[in-house]
Homo-oligomer: A and B are copies of this chain.
Amino acid sequence: MYQDHEFMQAALLQAKKSLSEGGIPIGSVLVINNQIVARGHNQRVQKNSAILHAEMDCLENAGRLTAAQYQKSTLYSTLSPCAMCSGTSLLYCIPRIVVGENVTFQGPEEYLKSQGIEVRVLNDSQCIDLMTQFIEQQPKLWNEDIGV
């Protein structure tokens, strides 16, 4: 379980990379057998994308995995996954999601749990601080990202 924090740091690096590019600071990594197999971050600004949330970018970067690979993976995201990213985890039967924080935004975590996905929320202060500052500075961009 200590490793969850380590992998979250890798996701946080992705979030910071996105911020340095002028983008939304949310990052994600996909882990299989204790190895990071893909990394990604929000690409709304960088690729002008409506669908590349951090988790989606990470899963796209992972390539076309087999069902067996998805089914032994853990998805890390610095922020609680929205309905889209939650739905994608359900499509691929990803059994476990580790969430950096769900203070500044909370997706359908209860729905995920009801469908058998394990959701662990770290509420990491670095993740909270990063999003709090970003939302304060760029409220319009943030609202666009969550369809508000």
Q: Could you tell me which A residues sit within 8 Å of B by CB distance?
A: 44, 48-51, 56, 59-60, 62-67, 70, 82-88, 90-93, 108, 111, 143-144, 146-148
| A81 CB, min distance to chain B CBs, angstroms | 9
Interchain CB contact under 8 A, B44 and A51: no
Provide the residues of chain B in CB contact with A92, threshold 8 Å.
Answer: 147
A148 to B83, alpha carbons, bound, how many Å?
21
Interchain CB contact under 8 A, B147 and A93: yes
Partner of A83, one of B64, B65, B91: B91
Interchain CB contact under 8 A, A49 and B60: yes
Partner of A51, one of B59, B70, B108, B144: B59
- Beyond A83-B88, A111-B111, 10 additional contacts (C-beta under 8 Å) are A49-B64, A67-B144, A82-B87, A84-B88, A84-B91, A85-B87, A87-B90, A90-B108, A92-B147, A93-B147
